[in-house]
């Protein structure tokens, strides 16, 4: 048998070298992606035949318990993210470029926390994609009985989904959120919300209801940045609604209805859409999109704050910081 030449490499050494090269390449790609999140393409909300019987990761049974904000648990560090050189009250925040996905600044970006009425942004996404804007929805007694009086909805009234977006997103009506979820079935709609979250890369997010009343609606500022980017690219009308100070909608059965924006951030210069929220456990939460112009160049930026006693002030500080960059 002929021997290999001195300059040739045994096959197994070449194999090992190839594996090492591939490992280094994948590691480098992972590090590079840590400062930005990539947009996943839109996913249709199809339902497999046995999806509802399978308790997959998309169902609430796998929801992580919300963290107790009164514990002395050490928060994570920001090793892979820049931190804004300002003091904020929020326990977590994110500043990100919506076009590129680049994370400009973040604090506790992967900390899971209750998100309160920011939930309603996903409610609007799923309603649009699974129900249809022209679908008629009759308001039930159970919807009107939902905690909170926002929306002025009356049991027995029939409104289009397009109309219900206004109390849902402007007045933050829990009644409207419940009525929308009931149209598909409460459990089915909740599962569609969780399935959509997974489809667009919100892997640390779980939804327990459509309104945000439950403290088991949990997410991270990074996941909410992904949601904002998805809405920006595929459902911009949602942000368009939330940018208005108020809207009047004609209703055949009850006459014109006026819905006022309860988000204090909507009056800030450059605000182009977003949502605020509050529960005793979640504290104040906010997701805000701004058009920021500097040196003749404009960019769309999303700012997310969670667990704050002063979300509007935190957002203002982060906007000012972004303008200085």
Within-domain flag for 194: yes
Does pLDDT of 312 surpass 90? yes
Residue pair 66/113 in contact by the 8 Å Cβ criterion: yes
Helix/strand/coil for 99? coil
pLDDT band at 253 (very low <50, low <70, confident <90, very high): low
Within-domain flag for 291: yes
Within-domain flag for 122: yes
* pTM for the whole structure: 0.79
Within-domain flag for 264: yes
Q: Tell me, what DSSP letter sits at residue 137?
A: E
pLDDT tens digits, one per residue of 72-95: 333 444 546 778 888 999 999 999
Q: Tell me, what DSSP letter sits at residue 83?
A: -
pLDDT tens digits, one per residue of 40-65: 444 455 544 333 333 333 333 333 34
Residue pair 292/66 in contact by the 8 Å Cβ criterion: no
Return the pLDDT at 249.
74
User: Could you give phi then psi for residue 38, rounded to 5 degrees?
Assistant: -90, 145
Residue pair 81/105 in contact by the 8 Å Cβ criterion: yes
Averaged pLDDT score across all residues of the chain: 81
Q: In CATH, what number is assigned to the domain containing residue 274?
A: 3.40.710.10
pLDDT mean over 155-169? 94
Return the pLDDT at 7.
45
Pick the closest to residue 88 from 306, 322, 325, 234 (CA basis). Answer: 306
More confident residue, 209 or 4: 209
Within-domain flag for 37: no
**Within a 10 A sphere around the Cβ of 149, how many other Cβ atoms?**
12
Within-domain flag for 1: no
Tell me the β-bridge partners of 286. 276, 305
Helix/strand/coil for 270? coil
User: Could you give phi then psi for residue 94, rounded to 5 degrees?
Assistant: -140, 135
Pick the closest to residue 157 from 181, 175, 132 (CA basis). Answer: 175
Overall domain count for the chain:
1
Within-domain flag for 288: yes
Within-domain flag for 112: yes
pLDDT band at 150 (very low <50, low <70, confident <90, very high): low
**Which residues form the domain of 277?**
91-324
């Amino acid at each position: 048998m002929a021997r290999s030449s001195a300059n040739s490499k045994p096959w197994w050494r070449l194999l090992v070298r190839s594996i090492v090269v591939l490992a280094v390449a994948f590691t480098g790609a992972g590090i590079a992606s840590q400062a930005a999140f990539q947009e996943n393409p839109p996913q249709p909300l199809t339902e497999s035949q046995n999806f509802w019987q399978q308790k997959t990761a998309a169902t609430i049974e796998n929801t992580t318990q919300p963290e107790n904000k009164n514990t002395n648990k050490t928060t994570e560090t920001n090793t892979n993210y820049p931190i804004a050189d300002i003091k904020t009250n929020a326990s977590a925040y994110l500043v990100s470029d919506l076009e590129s996905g680049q994370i400009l600044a973040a604090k506790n970006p992967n900390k899971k926390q209750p998100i309160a009425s920011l939930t309603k942004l996903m409610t609007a996404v799923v309603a649009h994609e699974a129900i249809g804007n022209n679908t008629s929805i009759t308001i039930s007694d159970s919807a009107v009985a939902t905690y909170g009086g926002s929306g002025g909805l009356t049991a027995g009234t029939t409104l289009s989904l397009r109309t219900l977006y206004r109390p849902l997103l402007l007045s933050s009506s829990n009644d409207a959120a419940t009525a929308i979820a009931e149209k598909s079935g409460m459990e089915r709609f909740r599962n569609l919300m969780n399935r959509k979250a997974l489809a667009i890369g919100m892997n640390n997010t779980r939804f327990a209801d459509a309104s945000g009343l439950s403290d088991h609606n949990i997410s991270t500022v990074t996941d909410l940045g992904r949601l904002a980017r998805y809405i920006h690219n595929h459902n911009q009308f949602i942000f368009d609604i939330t940018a208005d100070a108020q809207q009047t909608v004609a209703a055949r059965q009850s006459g014109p209805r006026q819905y006022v924006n309860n988000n204090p951030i909507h009056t800030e210069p450059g605000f182009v859409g977003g949502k605020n929220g509050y529960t005793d456990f979640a504290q104040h939460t906010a997701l805000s999109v701004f058009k920021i112009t500097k040196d003749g160049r404009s960019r769309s930026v999303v700012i997310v704050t969670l667990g704050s006693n002063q979300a509007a002030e935190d957002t203002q500080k982060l906007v000012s910081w972004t303008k200085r960059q």
